[in-house]
Chains A and B, each alone.
Chain A
Amino acid sequence: MPRAIDIRGVRRRFVTPGGAFAASSTVAALDGIDLAIEEGSFVALIGPSGCGKSTLLRIVAGLDAPDEGTVELAEGAARAIAYVFQDAHLMPWRSVAENVGLPLELRGVPRPERDAAVAQALEQVELSDAARRYPAALSGGMRMRASIARALVTGPRLLLMDEPFAALDELTRQRLDERLLALWREHRFTVVFVTHAIFEATFLAQRAVVLSGRPARVLHDAPIDLPAERTAALRGDPAFAREAARLLAALEESA
């Protein structure tokens, strides 16, 4: 399998500027991360809160630059990145359809083409009925689905997700996990999914990478040994519990 992302020796430090009463200080967020992610794979990035998972994702997206090391993206992935944030981050002054169409609008895609892509993206997240509504009138789950539609609208090859469902209730989160998995099976884009929820990672990913606490290093990197076809029933399966327990053990080591 060709590589979508090749991360080599990435280090990142943050300097908090000193003030009149405090000296400036340096915090190491990432301490030599090496990680290769194959095209079309679904990778969960797990680690304790504040360990630098989001920093790594931002560096992969090109929103932040490493102090040392390199991140190489396959050509297809580099040109078609989508990013889903922890909260929906919709623009409250735009309707759902206008929010979803934003990436195409910024690229100057003509109106008719844009409308067709928006309609298709909304259908994929089962949100067609809410196209003309405004974010303030939506539930948290609907907002998150709109945010995912905005990411899908460009037909991305690389989908970076930063704890996208963390703020949702358990049932909504499970439904969205199932929806996301169905979309992934359909489109086979590469997904890097940051989370600190073990069950979610086990259910979604083919491979789990566990990072240590700050500064982050890769502690554990292993495939999740579950069938590719995953349905809601899998959550009750003993094999699921076994994989989740394995992941939990790796995560406990990291804390």
Chain B
Amino acid sequence: MRRVVVPPLIAASIGLALWEGVARGRSIPAYLLPPPSAVARAMVAEASTLASATATTAAAALAGFVASAVLGVAFGFLLASSRTIERGLYPYAVILQTVPIVAIAPLLVLWCGVGSRAVAASAFIVSVFPVITSALAGVRAVDPSLRALFALYRASRLQVLVKLELPGAAPQIATGLRVACGLAVIGAIVGEFVAGFSEGSPGLGILVMTSYRQLRTDLLFAAVGCSSLLGIAMLGAVSLVSHVLLRRWCAPAR
């Protein structure tokens, strides 16, 4: 544990010290590069604003991520069920992945209205593709001999799905979900840039935009830090859940 924690801490301390030194020593204006101490002060002073912004963004990102997990797995299994369906629909899943979210965010505002629903929809669109592909790959990778075994004992389609394909694809789906949860945070913040102005407390995307307009660069850095922490927290939560659920897949051989 110590070997994992200590080196990055040392690296961070050196980096922060250099940053502080450069920002102060060369007297760079604070609106261009505030020293880390100023960012820390902003974090303390604006703690409640940052916390509520993080909570707002987290709720939207989580809603988008859960939608991605459920719909992405369902869609991946649908694609895996037949080559014809895969050929017919996969190109559109790719389009979903390649269209820049900033370009379709205004559409989301038109359809969902300004606010958390449009933001969650943006998080969903950005994060669903890796879930679809991982579910598809996971079902495709199910052991053909086990499929033959299920056929030999005349298993129903539902039995094959529940007892073979879902658990068999689970490790790959978990990988897809780990990628997706970070993307959901990105999708939520980008969504907020376009659609986040609404009733209630503004999210991190809004906080980034307003601090930028007010040249509160210290608060901007603090908000960026919070969004990064949010992504890390979601990744940690997904990794923990998948580790607990999947540990039998790779039980140590002893």
Contact = CB atoms under 8 A, between A and B. Distances in A.
A106 B167 contact: no
A72 B155 CA distance: 22
B254 A89 contact: no
B146 A92 contact: no
Interface in A75-103: 81-83, 85, 87, 89, 91-93, 102-103
Given A93-B170, A106-B159, A85 B145 contact: yes
User: Which has the most chain A C-beta neighbours within 10 Å: B143, B164, B170, B246?
Assistant: B143
B143 A81 contact: no
B249 interface: yes
Nearest to B154: A106
A134 interface: yes
Contacts of B159: 106
Given A63-B148, A85-B145, A93-B248, A107 B153 contact: yes
A135 to B, nearest CB: 8
A106 B248 contact: no
Nearest to B146: A89
Nearest to B166: A93
A62 B150 CA distance: 12
B145 to A, nearest CB: 4
Contacts of A91: 146, 164, 167-168
B-side interface mostly:
helix
A40 B143 CA distance: 31
A81 B167 contact: no
Given A136-B249, A136-B252, A89 B152 contact: no
A137 interface: yes
Nearest to A138: B253
Contact of B252 (A58, A63, A137): A137
B251 interface: yes
Nearest to B160: A106
Instruction: Report the interface size class on chain A.
Output: 20 to 34
Contacts, number: 59
B86 to A, nearest CB: 16
B155 A106 contact: yes
A61 interface: yes
B82 to A, nearest CB: 17
B138 to A, nearest CB: 13
A83 B170 contact: no
B149 interface: yes
B249 A93 contact: yes
Contacts of B151: 63
Nearest to B155: A106
A19 to B, nearest CB: 15
Given A63-B151, A81-B152, A93-B170, A137 B254 contact: yes
B148 A106 contact: no
Nearest to B247: A134
A62 B152 contact: yes
Contacts of B149: 83, 85, 89, 102-103
A92 B249 contact: yes
B142 to A, nearest CB: 10
User: Which has the most chain A C-beta neighbours within 10 Å: B148, B149, B248?
Assistant: B149
A70 B173 CA distance: 43
A196 B224 CA distance: 65
Nearest to A162: B145
A83 B248 contact: no
Contacts of B148: 58, 61, 63, 83, 85
Interface string A141-183: 0000000000000100000000000000000000000000000
Contact of A137 (B146, B152, B253): B253
Contacts of B146: 89, 91
A116 B164 CA distance: 24
A120 B194 CA distance: 65
A234 to B, nearest CB: 32
Interface of A: 58, 61-63, 81-83, 85, 87, 89, 91-93, 102-103, 105-107, 134, 136-137, 154
8 contacts: A61-B148, A61-B152, A62-B152, A63-B152, A106-B153, A107-B153, A136-B252, A137-B251
In order of increasing CB-CB distance, the 6 nearest A-B pairs are A136-B251, A89-B145, A106-B153, A85-B145, A106-B155, A93-B167
Interface of B: 143, 145-146, 148-155, 159, 163-164, 167-168, 170, 246, 248-254
Given A89-B143, A93-B167, 16 more contacts: A61-B148, A61-B152, A63-B152, A83-B152, A85-B148, A89-B145, A89-B149, A91-B168, A93-B246, A102-B149, A106-B153, A106-B159, A107-B153, A134-B248, A137-B251, A137-B252
